[in-house]
Amino acid sequence: MSKQIQVSGLDAYYGSHKAIEDVSMTIEPRSITAFIGPSGCGKSTFLRTLNRMHEVIPGARVEGKVLLDGEDLYGSTVEPVSVRRSIGMVFQRPNPFPTMSIYENVAAGLRLNGRVSKSESDGIVEDSLKGANLWNEVKDRLNKPGAGLSGGQQQRLCIARAIAVRPQVLLMDEPCSALDPISTLAIEDLMVKLKDEYTIVIVTHNMQQAARVSDRTAFFNLDGQGKPGKVVEMDETSRMFTNPSQKATEDYITGRFG
Amino acid sequence: MTTVQHISAGRRVKDRLAQGLVYLAFALAVVPLVSVLWLVIKNGLARFDVEFLTHSMRNIGARDAGGGAYHAIIGTLEQVLLASLISVPIGLLTAIYLTEYGNGGRLSRAISFFVDVMTGVPSVVTGLFVLAFWILFLGMPFSGLAGALALSILMMPTVVRSAEEMLRLVPNDLREASYALGVAKWRTIVKVVLPTAFTGIVTGVMLAVARVAGETAPLLLTVFFTDSINNDPFSGPQMGLPLYVFDQAGRPNDTAIDRAWTGALTLILIVMLLNLVARLIAWWRSPARGR
Protein backbone atom coordinates (compact mmCIF):
# COMPACT_ATOMS: atom_id res chain seq x y z
CA MET A 1 0.00 0.00 0.00
CA SER A 2 2.67 2.43 0.96
CA LYS A 3 4.40 4.38 -1.78
CA GLN A 4 7.49 6.45 -2.34
CA ILE A 5 7.35 10.18 -3.03
CA GLN A 6 9.96 11.89 -5.17
CA VAL A 7 10.02 15.66 -5.34
CA SER A 8 12.20 17.59 -7.74
CA GLY A 9 12.67 21.32 -8.22
CA LEU A 10 9.48 22.31 -6.45
CA ASP A 11 8.52 25.97 -5.97
CA ALA A 12 5.31 27.05 -4.24
CA TYR A 13 3.72 30.47 -4.40
CA TYR A 14 1.03 32.43 -2.61
CA GLY A 15 0.05 34.89 -5.32
CA SER A 16 3.33 36.56 -6.24
CA HIS A 17 5.06 35.58 -2.99
CA LYS A 18 7.35 32.60 -3.33
CA ALA A 19 7.01 30.54 -0.16
CA ILE A 20 9.40 27.68 -0.96
CA GLU A 21 12.08 27.38 -3.56
CA ASP A 22 13.68 24.48 -5.37
CA VAL A 23 12.87 21.67 -2.98
CA SER A 24 13.99 18.20 -4.02
CA MET A 25 13.82 15.12 -1.85
CA THR A 26 12.87 11.49 -1.74
CA ILE A 27 10.47 10.26 0.90
CA GLU A 28 10.79 6.54 1.47
CA PRO A 29 7.83 4.21 1.93
CA ARG A 30 7.15 2.50 5.29
CA SER A 31 9.03 5.12 7.19
CA ILE A 32 8.45 8.35 9.05
CA THR A 33 9.95 11.47 7.58
CA ALA A 34 10.02 14.56 9.77
CA PHE A 35 10.24 18.19 8.64
CA ILE A 36 11.73 20.60 11.15
CA GLY A 37 12.61 24.26 10.94
CA PRO A 38 11.67 27.71 12.25
CA SER A 39 8.15 29.13 11.82
CA GLY A 40 7.36 30.49 8.39
CA CYS A 41 10.03 28.49 6.59
CA GLY A 42 7.53 26.65 4.42
CA LYS A 43 7.36 23.21 6.04
CA SER A 44 3.58 23.17 6.13
CA THR A 45 3.35 24.72 2.68
CA PHE A 46 5.61 22.01 1.32
CA LEU A 47 3.60 19.31 3.09
CA ARG A 48 0.42 20.67 1.51
CA THR A 49 1.93 20.57 -1.97
CA LEU A 50 2.38 16.80 -1.57
CA ASN A 51 -1.36 16.13 -1.78
CA ARG A 52 -2.36 19.21 -3.75
CA MET A 53 -3.96 20.88 -0.75
CA HIS A 54 -1.82 23.95 -1.36
CA GLU A 55 -3.84 25.05 -4.37
CA VAL A 56 -7.05 25.10 -2.31
CA ILE A 57 -5.98 28.52 -1.06
CA PRO A 58 -6.98 31.25 -3.56
CA GLY A 59 -3.97 32.46 -5.56
CA ALA A 60 -1.70 29.60 -4.49
CA ARG A 61 0.19 27.62 -7.14
CA VAL A 62 3.01 25.16 -7.50
CA GLU A 63 5.80 24.62 -10.02
CA GLY A 64 7.89 21.48 -10.20
CA LYS A 65 7.36 17.77 -9.95
CA VAL A 66 5.97 15.48 -7.29
CA LEU A 67 6.09 11.80 -8.24
CA LEU A 68 4.14 9.18 -6.31
CA ASP A 69 5.81 5.89 -7.27
CA GLY A 70 6.77 7.51 -10.56
CA GLU A 71 3.40 9.08 -11.31
CA ASP A 72 3.40 12.88 -11.58
CA LEU A 73 0.78 14.30 -9.19
CA TYR A 74 0.84 17.63 -11.02
CA GLY A 75 0.31 16.10 -14.45
CA SER A 76 -2.24 18.00 -16.53
CA THR A 77 -4.72 15.14 -16.56
CA VAL A 78 -4.46 14.27 -12.87
CA GLU A 79 -7.50 14.99 -10.77
CA PRO A 80 -6.56 16.69 -7.48
CA VAL A 81 -9.45 14.97 -5.69
CA SER A 82 -8.07 11.52 -6.46
CA VAL A 83 -4.59 12.58 -5.31
CA ARG A 84 -6.02 13.52 -1.92
CA ARG A 85 -7.75 10.19 -1.73
CA SER A 86 -4.44 8.35 -1.92
CA ILE A 87 -2.50 10.87 0.19
CA GLY A 88 -4.35 11.58 3.42
CA MET A 89 -3.78 14.47 5.78
CA VAL A 90 -4.09 15.19 9.49
CA PHE A 91 -4.14 18.82 10.56
CA GLN A 92 -2.64 20.83 13.37
CA ARG A 93 -5.91 21.38 15.15
CA PRO A 94 -8.29 18.42 15.45
CA ASN A 95 -11.20 19.15 13.12
CA PRO A 96 -13.92 16.51 13.39
CA PHE A 97 -17.11 17.38 11.50
CA PRO A 98 -19.38 18.93 14.15
CA THR A 99 -22.60 17.72 12.56
CA MET A 100 -21.50 14.09 12.51
CA SER A 101 -21.25 11.37 15.11
CA ILE A 102 -18.01 9.52 15.85
CA TYR A 103 -19.06 6.75 13.48
CA GLU A 104 -20.07 9.17 10.73
CA ASN A 105 -16.83 11.09 11.10
CA VAL A 106 -14.75 7.99 10.50
CA ALA A 107 -16.99 6.87 7.65
CA ALA A 108 -17.12 10.39 6.17
CA GLY A 109 -14.46 9.78 3.54
CA LEU A 110 -16.20 6.63 2.34
CA ARG A 111 -19.71 7.98 2.43
CA LEU A 112 -18.91 11.30 0.83
CA ASN A 113 -17.07 9.57 -1.98
CA GLY A 114 -19.69 7.02 -2.89
CA ARG A 115 -21.89 4.26 -1.67
CA VAL A 116 -20.69 1.64 0.75
CA SER A 117 -22.81 -1.03 2.37
CA LYS A 118 -23.57 -0.80 6.05
CA SER A 119 -21.65 -3.94 6.96
CA GLU A 120 -18.65 -2.87 4.90
CA SER A 121 -18.53 0.54 6.52
CA ASP A 122 -19.04 -1.01 9.99
CA GLY A 123 -15.93 -3.09 9.40
CA ILE A 124 -13.86 -0.21 8.10
CA VAL A 125 -14.92 2.10 10.95
CA GLU A 126 -13.95 -0.52 13.52
CA ASP A 127 -10.62 -1.25 11.83
CA SER A 128 -9.80 2.44 11.48
CA LEU A 129 -10.66 3.25 15.07
CA LYS A 130 -8.59 0.27 16.22
CA GLY A 131 -5.82 1.45 13.94
CA ALA A 132 -5.96 4.84 15.61
CA ASN A 133 -5.96 3.29 19.11
CA LEU A 134 -9.34 4.82 19.83
CA TRP A 135 -11.72 1.89 19.53
CA ASN A 136 -11.74 0.89 23.20
CA GLU A 137 -12.49 4.43 24.32
CA VAL A 138 -15.40 5.09 21.96
CA LYS A 139 -16.90 1.73 21.01
CA ASP A 140 -19.88 2.26 23.31
CA ARG A 141 -20.69 5.74 22.05
CA LEU A 142 -20.17 5.64 18.32
CA ASN A 143 -23.37 7.62 17.78
CA LYS A 144 -22.35 10.52 20.00
CA PRO A 145 -20.97 13.68 18.34
CA GLY A 146 -17.29 13.56 17.49
CA ALA A 147 -16.87 17.08 18.86
CA GLY A 148 -17.68 15.80 22.35
CA LEU A 149 -14.37 13.93 22.67
CA SER A 150 -11.26 15.35 24.33
CA GLY A 151 -8.62 17.06 22.19
CA GLY A 152 -6.35 14.04 22.03
CA GLN A 153 -9.22 11.73 21.24
CA GLN A 154 -10.44 14.12 18.56
CA GLN A 155 -7.01 14.08 16.94
CA ARG A 156 -6.97 10.29 16.95
CA LEU A 157 -10.49 10.41 15.50
CA CYS A 158 -9.12 12.56 12.69
CA ILE A 159 -6.35 10.04 12.11
CA ALA A 160 -8.93 7.25 12.02
CA ARG A 161 -10.92 9.32 9.53
CA ALA A 162 -7.83 9.79 7.38
CA ILE A 163 -6.83 6.12 7.34
CA ALA A 164 -10.40 4.95 6.71
CA VAL A 165 -10.08 5.89 3.04
CA ARG A 166 -6.98 3.62 2.83
CA PRO A 167 -4.44 6.18 1.63
CA GLN A 168 -0.92 5.23 0.61
CA VAL A 169 0.65 8.19 2.36
CA LEU A 170 -0.32 10.03 5.53
CA LEU A 171 0.72 13.67 5.94
CA MET A 172 0.61 15.14 9.43
CA ASP A 173 0.89 18.86 9.99
CA GLU A 174 2.02 19.35 13.60
CA PRO A 175 -0.50 16.79 14.80
CA CYS A 176 0.49 17.08 18.45
CA SER A 177 0.97 20.81 18.88
CA ALA A 178 -2.45 21.27 20.49
CA LEU A 179 -2.21 18.20 22.72
CA ASP A 180 -0.95 17.38 26.20
CA PRO A 181 2.08 15.08 26.69
CA ILE A 182 0.01 11.96 27.30
CA SER A 183 -2.07 12.39 24.16
CA THR A 184 1.12 13.26 22.29
CA LEU A 185 2.65 9.99 23.40
CA ALA A 186 -0.45 8.12 22.24
CA ILE A 187 -0.21 9.73 18.80
CA GLU A 188 3.53 9.07 18.56
CA ASP A 189 3.02 5.39 19.40
CA LEU A 190 0.33 5.33 16.77
CA MET A 191 2.64 6.83 14.15
CA VAL A 192 5.27 4.20 14.81
CA LYS A 193 2.62 1.52 14.48
CA LEU A 194 1.20 3.02 11.28
CA LYS A 195 4.52 3.19 9.50
CA ASP A 196 4.34 -0.56 8.87
CA GLU A 197 1.58 0.20 6.40
CA TYR A 198 1.89 3.81 5.37
CA THR A 199 4.42 6.35 4.26
CA ILE A 200 4.25 8.98 6.98
CA VAL A 201 5.39 12.57 6.73
CA ILE A 202 5.20 14.78 9.80
CA VAL A 203 5.82 18.47 10.34
CA THR A 204 6.84 19.23 13.88
CA HIS A 205 8.21 22.04 16.00
CA ASN A 206 9.18 19.59 18.65
CA MET A 207 12.77 18.46 18.11
CA GLN A 208 12.48 15.60 20.60
CA GLN A 209 9.44 14.35 18.74
CA ALA A 210 11.31 14.32 15.45
CA ALA A 211 14.20 12.51 17.12
CA ARG A 212 11.89 10.00 18.82
CA VAL A 213 9.70 8.92 15.95
CA SER A 214 11.24 9.75 12.60
CA ASP A 215 13.59 7.72 10.43
CA ARG A 216 14.67 10.61 8.26
CA THR A 217 14.60 14.33 8.95
CA ALA A 218 14.62 17.33 6.66
CA PHE A 219 15.64 20.73 7.99
CA PHE A 220 13.95 23.73 6.36
CA ASN A 221 15.21 27.27 6.71
CA LEU A 222 14.96 30.65 5.03
CA ASP A 223 17.68 33.18 4.38
CA GLY A 224 15.71 36.09 5.73
CA GLN A 225 12.30 37.67 6.23
CA GLY A 226 10.28 37.52 2.99
CA LYS A 227 12.70 35.12 1.31
CA PRO A 228 11.47 31.68 0.21
CA GLY A 229 12.11 28.63 2.40
CA LYS A 230 14.58 25.94 1.33
CA VAL A 231 15.70 22.53 2.44
CA VAL A 232 19.05 22.98 4.13
CA GLU A 233 19.75 19.35 4.80
CA MET A 234 18.06 15.99 4.80
CA ASP A 235 19.47 12.82 6.27
CA GLU A 236 18.93 9.90 8.61
CA THR A 237 17.44 11.29 11.81
CA SER A 238 20.19 9.81 13.96
CA ARG A 239 22.85 11.54 11.91
CA MET A 240 20.94 14.83 11.70
CA PHE A 241 20.75 15.05 15.47
CA THR A 242 24.27 13.89 16.25
CA ASN A 243 26.43 14.94 13.38
CA PRO A 244 24.73 17.32 10.91
CA SER A 245 26.79 18.41 7.94
CA GLN A 246 25.50 21.97 7.91
CA LYS A 247 26.25 24.60 10.54
CA ALA A 248 22.68 26.01 10.37
CA THR A 249 21.19 22.61 11.17
CA GLU A 250 23.42 22.21 14.19
CA ASP A 251 22.58 25.73 15.40
CA TYR A 252 18.87 25.08 15.07
CA ILE A 253 18.94 21.67 16.69
CA THR A 254 21.06 22.81 19.60
CA GLY A 255 18.68 25.73 20.16
CA ARG A 256 20.97 28.54 19.10
CA PHE A 257 18.21 30.06 16.96
CA GLY A 258 14.61 29.48 15.89
CA MET B 1 3.79 48.60 49.48
CA THR B 2 0.32 48.00 48.15
CA THR B 3 -0.22 45.50 45.40
CA VAL B 4 -4.01 45.45 45.53
CA GLN B 5 -5.64 48.64 44.34
CA HIS B 6 -9.14 49.53 45.40
CA ILE B 7 -11.69 50.83 42.94
CA SER B 8 -11.97 54.56 43.43
CA ALA B 9 -15.34 56.14 44.24
CA GLY B 10 -15.30 57.99 40.91
CA ARG B 11 -14.93 54.81 38.89
CA ARG B 12 -17.64 53.12 40.90
CA VAL B 13 -20.02 55.99 40.16
CA LYS B 14 -19.19 55.87 36.46
CA ASP B 15 -19.75 52.12 36.46
CA ARG B 16 -23.17 52.55 38.05
CA LEU B 17 -24.03 55.33 35.62
CA ALA B 18 -23.10 53.28 32.56
CA GLN B 19 -25.02 50.32 33.94
CA GLY B 20 -28.08 52.52 34.51
CA LEU B 21 -27.89 53.87 30.96
CA VAL B 22 -27.73 50.38 29.51
CA TYR B 23 -30.78 49.30 31.47
CA LEU B 24 -32.60 52.46 30.40
CA ALA B 25 -31.81 51.85 26.76
CA PHE B 26 -33.06 48.29 27.10
CA ALA B 27 -36.31 49.48 28.70
CA LEU B 28 -36.79 52.06 25.93
CA ALA B 29 -36.37 49.36 23.32
CA VAL B 30 -38.81 47.02 25.02
CA VAL B 31 -41.57 49.57 25.67
CA PRO B 32 -42.81 49.79 22.05
CA LEU B 33 -42.62 46.03 21.63
CA VAL B 34 -44.64 45.32 24.76
CA SER B 35 -47.15 48.06 24.03
CA VAL B 36 -47.75 46.81 20.48
CA LEU B 37 -48.22 43.25 21.70
CA TRP B 38 -50.46 44.41 24.52
CA LEU B 39 -52.67 46.55 22.26
CA VAL B 40 -52.99 43.88 19.58
CA ILE B 41 -53.83 41.16 22.09
CA LYS B 42 -56.27 43.31 24.05
CA ASN B 43 -58.15 44.53 21.00
CA GLY B 44 -57.76 41.41 18.92
CA LEU B 45 -59.09 38.89 21.41
CA ALA B 46 -62.66 40.24 21.04
CA ARG B 47 -63.12 38.63 17.64
CA PHE B 48 -60.55 35.84 17.91
CA ASP B 49 -63.02 33.01 17.51
CA VAL B 50 -63.78 29.98 15.36
CA GLU B 51 -65.91 31.99 12.95
CA PHE B 52 -63.06 34.41 12.32
CA LEU B 53 -60.66 31.60 11.49
CA THR B 54 -63.07 29.61 9.30
CA HIS B 55 -65.13 32.18 7.40
CA SER B 56 -64.43 34.71 4.70
CA MET B 57 -65.99 38.15 4.24
CA ARG B 58 -68.27 37.00 1.44
CA ASN B 59 -71.83 38.33 1.82
CA ILE B 60 -70.93 40.28 4.93
CA GLY B 61 -72.48 43.70 4.54
CA ALA B 62 -70.79 46.94 5.44
CA ARG B 63 -72.44 47.13 8.83
CA ASP B 64 -72.75 43.42 9.63
CA ALA B 65 -70.95 41.82 12.51
CA GLY B 66 -69.34 38.39 12.05
CA GLY B 67 -67.25 37.45 9.06
CA GLY B 68 -63.66 36.33 9.22
CA ALA B 69 -60.24 36.17 7.66
CA TYR B 70 -60.09 32.60 6.42
CA HIS B 71 -59.54 33.81 2.83
CA ALA B 72 -56.79 36.15 3.99
CA ILE B 73 -55.04 33.46 6.09
CA ILE B 74 -55.06 31.05 3.14
CA GLY B 75 -53.80 33.82 0.88
CA THR B 76 -50.98 34.84 3.19
CA LEU B 77 -49.82 31.26 3.74
CA GLU B 78 -49.84 30.45 0.04
CA GLN B 79 -48.16 33.68 -0.99
CA VAL B 80 -45.43 33.41 1.62
CA LEU B 81 -44.87 29.74 0.78
CA LEU B 82 -44.57 30.53 -2.94
CA ALA B 83 -42.31 33.49 -2.24
CA SER B 84 -40.06 31.24 -0.11
CA LEU B 85 -40.00 28.55 -2.78
CA ILE B 86 -38.77 31.14 -5.25
CA SER B 87 -36.36 33.13 -3.11
CA VAL B 88 -34.80 30.54 -0.79
CA PRO B 89 -33.18 28.38 -3.52
CA ILE B 90 -32.00 31.42 -5.48
CA GLY B 91 -30.82 33.21 -2.34
CA LEU B 92 -29.05 30.15 -0.99
CA LEU B 93 -27.31 29.40 -4.27
CA THR B 94 -26.23 33.04 -4.51
CA ALA B 95 -24.81 32.88 -1.00
CA ILE B 96 -22.97 29.65 -1.85
CA TYR B 97 -21.52 31.28 -4.94
CA LEU B 98 -20.40 34.31 -2.96
CA THR B 99 -18.74 32.36 -0.15
CA GLU B 100 -17.43 29.25 -1.89
CA TYR B 101 -16.75 30.19 -5.48
CA GLY B 102 -16.64 33.97 -5.80
CA ASN B 103 -13.27 34.52 -4.11
CA GLY B 104 -13.90 38.27 -4.11
CA GLY B 105 -13.77 38.44 -7.90
CA ARG B 106 -15.48 41.06 -10.01
CA LEU B 107 -18.72 39.13 -10.46
CA SER B 108 -19.06 38.37 -6.77
CA ARG B 109 -18.43 41.99 -5.86
CA ALA B 110 -21.06 43.07 -8.38
CA ILE B 111 -23.55 40.57 -6.94
CA SER B 112 -22.77 41.73 -3.42
CA PHE B 113 -23.36 45.32 -4.46
CA PHE B 114 -26.71 44.60 -6.10
CA VAL B 115 -27.85 42.52 -3.14
CA ASP B 116 -27.18 45.57 -0.97
CA VAL B 117 -29.12 47.74 -3.41
CA MET B 118 -32.00 45.27 -3.32
CA THR B 119 -32.08 45.43 0.47
CA GLY B 120 -32.81 49.11 0.20
CA VAL B 121 -35.62 48.89 -2.36
CA PRO B 122 -38.88 50.09 -0.75
CA SER B 123 -41.49 47.34 -0.69
CA VAL B 124 -44.00 49.34 -2.70
CA VAL B 125 -41.50 49.59 -5.53
CA THR B 126 -41.27 45.81 -5.82
CA GLY B 127 -45.06 45.75 -6.04
CA LEU B 128 -44.99 48.42 -8.74
CA PHE B 129 -42.33 46.48 -10.61
CA VAL B 130 -44.39 43.28 -10.63
CA LEU B 131 -47.47 45.30 -11.58
CA ALA B 132 -45.67 46.97 -14.46
CA PHE B 133 -43.77 43.95 -15.73
CA TRP B 134 -45.80 40.86 -14.88
CA ILE B 135 -49.35 42.17 -14.97
CA LEU B 136 -49.33 45.10 -17.40
CA PHE B 137 -46.49 44.14 -19.75
CA LEU B 138 -46.84 40.34 -19.83
CA GLY B 139 -50.60 40.57 -19.36
CA MET B 140 -50.78 38.12 -16.45
CA PRO B 141 -53.81 38.36 -14.15
CA PHE B 142 -53.79 39.63 -10.59
CA SER B 143 -53.02 36.55 -8.53
CA GLY B 144 -51.37 35.21 -5.41
CA LEU B 145 -48.40 34.29 -7.58
CA ALA B 146 -47.92 37.90 -8.65
CA GLY B 147 -47.90 38.85 -4.95
CA ALA B 148 -45.45 36.04 -4.23
CA LEU B 149 -43.14 37.38 -6.95
CA ALA B 150 -43.12 40.81 -5.34
CA LEU B 151 -42.52 39.27 -1.91
CA SER B 152 -39.72 37.06 -3.20
CA ILE B 153 -37.88 40.12 -4.50
CA LEU B 154 -38.07 41.50 -0.98
CA MET B 155 -37.01 38.23 0.60
CA MET B 156 -34.05 37.46 -1.60
CA PRO B 157 -31.50 39.95 -0.28
CA THR B 158 -32.30 39.01 3.32
CA VAL B 159 -31.85 35.33 2.54
CA VAL B 160 -28.60 35.95 0.65
CA ARG B 161 -27.11 38.12 3.38
CA SER B 162 -28.00 35.85 6.29
CA ALA B 163 -27.02 32.64 4.49
CA GLU B 164 -23.76 34.22 3.37
CA GLU B 165 -22.91 35.22 6.92
CA MET B 166 -23.69 31.73 8.22
CA LEU B 167 -21.62 30.05 5.50
CA ARG B 168 -18.69 32.32 6.28
CA LEU B 169 -18.90 31.23 9.92
CA VAL B 170 -18.20 27.62 8.93
CA PRO B 171 -14.53 27.13 9.83
CA ASN B 172 -12.22 26.63 6.87
CA ASP B 173 -10.70 23.70 8.77
CA LEU B 174 -13.79 21.66 7.99
CA ARG B 175 -13.62 22.33 4.26
CA GLU B 176 -9.94 21.40 4.28
CA ALA B 177 -10.61 18.27 6.30
CA SER B 178 -13.13 17.22 3.71
CA TYR B 179 -10.88 18.05 0.74
CA ALA B 180 -8.07 16.09 2.41
CA LEU B 181 -10.33 13.02 2.40
CA GLY B 182 -10.56 13.31 -1.35
CA VAL B 183 -14.08 14.70 -1.35
CA ALA B 184 -14.99 16.90 -4.31
CA LYS B 185 -15.76 20.55 -3.69
CA TRP B 186 -19.47 20.43 -4.43
CA ARG B 187 -19.94 17.39 -2.19
CA THR B 188 -18.02 19.16 0.54
CA ILE B 189 -20.43 22.07 0.26
CA VAL B 190 -23.52 19.87 0.23
CA LYS B 191 -22.46 17.37 2.90
CA VAL B 192 -20.22 19.36 5.23
CA VAL B 193 -20.63 23.12 4.83
CA LEU B 194 -24.42 23.35 4.48
CA PRO B 195 -25.25 20.96 7.35
CA THR B 196 -22.87 22.89 9.62
CA ALA B 197 -24.55 26.19 8.75
CA PHE B 198 -28.04 24.70 8.65
CA THR B 199 -29.34 26.10 11.95
CA GLY B 200 -28.25 29.62 11.13
CA ILE B 201 -29.63 29.48 7.61
CA VAL B 202 -33.03 28.35 8.90
CA THR B 203 -33.07 31.27 11.33
CA GLY B 204 -32.19 33.67 8.54
CA VAL B 205 -34.90 32.31 6.27
CA MET B 206 -37.44 32.64 9.09
CA LEU B 207 -36.51 36.27 9.63
CA ALA B 208 -37.01 36.88 5.92
CA VAL B 209 -40.38 35.12 6.04
CA ALA B 210 -41.43 37.14 9.06
CA ARG B 211 -40.47 40.30 7.26
CA VAL B 212 -42.48 39.66 4.10
CA ALA B 213 -45.49 38.13 5.85
CA GLY B 214 -46.41 41.57 7.08
CA GLU B 215 -45.95 43.43 3.80
CA THR B 216 -49.03 45.27 2.55
CA ALA B 217 -47.92 47.55 -0.24
CA PRO B 218 -46.60 44.98 -2.73
CA LEU B 219 -49.72 42.84 -2.25
CA LEU B 220 -52.05 45.77 -2.80
CA LEU B 221 -50.74 46.17 -6.33
CA THR B 222 -50.40 42.53 -7.27
CA VAL B 223 -52.94 40.21 -5.65
CA PHE B 224 -55.63 42.88 -5.84
CA PHE B 225 -58.09 41.89 -3.20
CA THR B 226 -61.20 39.95 -2.59
CA ASP B 227 -63.76 39.08 0.07
CA SER B 228 -64.12 35.49 -1.12
CA ILE B 229 -62.07 32.39 -0.62
CA ASN B 230 -59.67 31.69 -3.47
CA ASN B 231 -57.52 28.62 -2.82
CA ASP B 232 -55.72 28.87 -6.14
CA PRO B 233 -52.77 31.25 -5.94
CA PHE B 234 -52.23 31.03 -9.69
CA SER B 235 -55.45 32.62 -10.88
CA GLY B 236 -57.80 35.30 -9.68
CA PRO B 237 -57.43 37.90 -6.96
CA GLN B 238 -56.47 36.67 -3.52
CA MET B 239 -56.36 38.20 -0.08
CA GLY B 240 -53.58 38.50 2.46
CA LEU B 241 -53.72 39.23 6.17
CA PRO B 242 -51.92 42.58 5.95
CA LEU B 243 -54.30 43.60 3.17
CA TYR B 244 -57.21 42.45 5.26
CA VAL B 245 -56.10 44.53 8.21
CA PHE B 246 -55.56 47.51 5.93
CA ASP B 247 -59.00 47.08 4.38
CA GLN B 248 -60.93 46.51 7.61
CA ALA B 249 -59.18 49.28 9.51
CA GLY B 250 -60.26 51.72 6.80
CA ARG B 251 -63.95 50.97 7.29
CA PRO B 252 -65.95 53.28 9.49
CA ASN B 253 -67.64 50.91 11.93
CA ASP B 254 -66.51 49.13 15.10
CA THR B 255 -67.17 45.59 13.88
CA ALA B 256 -64.69 46.13 11.04
CA ILE B 257 -62.13 47.75 13.35
CA ASP B 258 -62.40 44.72 15.65
CA ARG B 259 -61.78 42.43 12.67
CA ALA B 260 -58.70 44.45 11.77
CA TRP B 261 -57.23 43.99 15.26
CA THR B 262 -57.95 40.29 15.19
CA GLY B 263 -56.37 40.08 11.73
CA ALA B 264 -53.23 41.68 13.13
CA LEU B 265 -53.23 39.27 16.06
CA THR B 266 -53.62 36.31 13.71
CA LEU B 267 -50.72 37.52 11.60
CA ILE B 268 -48.47 37.80 14.66
CA LEU B 269 -49.50 34.32 15.77
CA ILE B 270 -48.79 32.82 12.35
CA VAL B 271 -45.31 34.35 12.24
CA MET B 272 -44.64 33.18 15.79
CA LEU B 273 -45.81 29.68 14.94
CA LEU B 274 -43.59 29.55 11.87
CA ASN B 275 -40.69 30.72 14.00
CA LEU B 276 -41.39 28.02 16.54
CA VAL B 277 -41.45 25.34 13.85
CA ALA B 278 -38.16 26.62 12.47
CA ARG B 279 -36.62 26.58 15.95
CA LEU B 280 -37.75 22.99 16.39
CA ILE B 281 -36.24 21.97 13.06
CA ALA B 282 -33.02 23.78 13.92
CA TRP B 283 -32.89 22.17 17.36
CA TRP B 284 -33.58 18.75 15.93
CA ARG B 285 -30.72 19.12 13.48
CA SER B 286 -28.34 20.88 15.83
CA PRO B 287 -24.99 19.16 16.44
CA ALA B 288 -25.11 19.84 20.17
CA ARG B 289 -28.12 17.56 20.61
CA GLY B 290 -27.39 14.25 22.27
CA ARG B 291 -23.95 15.21 23.48
What pLDDT is stored for residue A119 in this prediction?
87
Which residues, in sequence order, are CB contacts of A87 under 8 Å at separation 6+?
A: A50, A51, A68, A167, A168, A169, A170, A171
What pLDDT is stored for residue B141 in this prediction?
87
Are B187 and A112 in contact (CB < 8 Å)? Answer: yes
Are B195 and A51 in contact (CB < 8 Å)? Answer: no
**B176/A contact by beta carbon, under 8 A:** yes
**B101/A contact by beta carbon, under 8 A:** no
- What is the chain A residue with the closest CA to B105? A58
Q: Which amino acid would we find at residue A145? A: P
Cβ contacts of A96 on chain B, cutoff 8 Å: 177
Cβ contacts of B189 on chain A, cutoff 8 Å: none
What pLDDT is stored for residue B60 in this prediction?
82
**B106/A contact by beta carbon, under 8 A:** no
**CA A7 to CA A164: how far, in whole Å?**
26
Rounded to 5 degrees, φ, ψ at B233 are: -75, -5
* Mean per-residue pLDDT, A1-17: 88
Pick from A82, A84, A113: which is nearest to B180 by CB?
A84
Pick from B177, B191, B195: which is nearest to A91 by CB?
B177
Are A112 and B290 in contact (CB < 8 Å)? Answer: no
**CA B159 to CA A45: how far, in whole Å?**
37
Q: Which of B235, B263, B265 is nearest to B247 (CA)?
A: B263
Cβ contact B248:B242 at 8 Å: no
**A82/B contact by beta carbon, under 8 A:** yes
Cβ contact A149:A161 at 8 Å: no
Beta strands in A144-211 (DSSP E): 169-173, 199-203
Domains and CATH numbers, chain A: 5-95+167-253 (3.40.50.300)
Min Cα–Cα distance to chain A from B114, Å: 24
Higher-confidence residue of A66 and A116: namely A66
* Mean per-residue pLDDT, A173-177: 89
Helix axes A102-113, A151-164, angle to 10 degrees: 30
CA torsion, points B184, B188, B189, B192, in degrees to nearest 10?
A: 170
What pLDDT is stored for residue B128 in this prediction?
94
**CA A172 to CA A204: how far, in whole Å?**
9
Sequence ranges of the domains in chain B: 9-47, 52-285
* Digit-coded pLDDT (tens) for B70-87: 999 999 999 999 999 999
Sheet holding A32-36, edge to edge: A71-72, A60-68, A5-14, A17-27, A229-236, A216-222, A32-36, A199-203, A169-173, A87-90
pTM score of the predicted model: 0.85
- What is the chain B residue with the closest CA to A87? B180
Residue A258 has pLDDT above 70, yes or no: no
Are A91 and B287 in contact (CB < 8 Å)? Answer: no
**CA B248 to CA B64: how far, in whole Å?**
12
Helix (H) or strand (E) holding A75: none
Interface test with A, best of B172, B175, B181 (most A CBs within 10 A): B181
Cβ contacts of B176 on chain A, cutoff 8 Å: 53, 56, 91, 95
Pick from A85, A93, A144: which is nearest to B182 by CB?
A85
Helix axes A151-164, A181-194, angle to 10 degrees: 20
* Digit-coded pLDDT (tens) for A44-61: 999 999 999 998 888 899
Q: What class has domain B52-285? A: mainly alpha
* Digit-coded pLDDT (tens) for A90-120: 998 999 998 899 999 999 988 887 777 888 8
* Digit-coded pLDDT (tens) for B134-186: 989 998 888 899 999 999 999 999 999 999 999 999 999 999 999 999 899 99
Min Cα–Cα distance to chain A from B96, Å: 16
pLDDT along chain B (291 residues), means of 10: 79 94 96 94 90 86 82 93 95 95 89 93 92 90 92 94 94 92 91 91 90 89 86 89 91 90 94 89 68 43
* Digit-coded pLDDT (tens) for A195-235: 998 899 999 988 889 999 999 999 999 888 888 899 999 99
Could you say which residues from 181 to 210 on chain B have a Cβ atom under 8 Å away from some Cβ of chain A? 181-184, 187-188, 191-192, 195-196, 198
What pLDDT is stored for residue B171 in this prediction?
92
